[in-house]
Amino acid sequence: DSGVTQTPKHLITATGQRVTLRCSPRSGDLSVYWYQQSLDQGLQFLIQYYNGEERAKGNILERFSAQQFPDLHSELNLSSLELGDSALYFCASSVLGSLNTGELFFGEGSRLTVL
């Protein structure tokens, strides 16, 4: 158990809909990262928050948005869903802003299926 909690574990929805994925980082971790894992694209970095502020942005679509709340939990919002958004979405957390000496702790993921 990494200490990172993601909900829901599974989600099935239709094209055009909107969903919210939730992540609670490990106790004490200030950074939250979101990754998308799909069969054709592998693990893609989406976005990182550090203590409530956006720190780094990757290949995140404009239809997607995220935020980190004062209690440090984070939500990833996916809207106008398309079939290609079906993937496993991972949240990870770490104490440090820099990864040069740190480690990312991953949740078990939220599997999104868009029909």
Partner 1 sequence: GDSVTQMEGPVTLSEEAFLTINCTYTATGYPSLFWYVQYPGEGLQLLLKATKADDKGSNKGFEATYRKETTSFHLEKGSVQVSDSAVYFCALSLGLTGGGNKLTFGTGTQLKVEL
Residues forming contacts to partner 1 in the complex (CB under 8 A) are 2, 4, 31, 33, 35, 42-43, 45, 48, 50, 55-58, 90, 92, 97-101, 103-109
Shortest spacing between CB 100 and partner 1, in angstroms: 4
- Which of 37, 80, 5 lies closest to 46, judged by CA? 37
From first CA to last CA, the distance across the chain in angstroms is 31
User: What 3-state DSSP class applies to 16?
Assistant: coil
Least gap, CB of 113 to partner 1 (angstroms): 16
Q: How far is the CB of 41 from partner 1 (least distance, A)?
A: 9
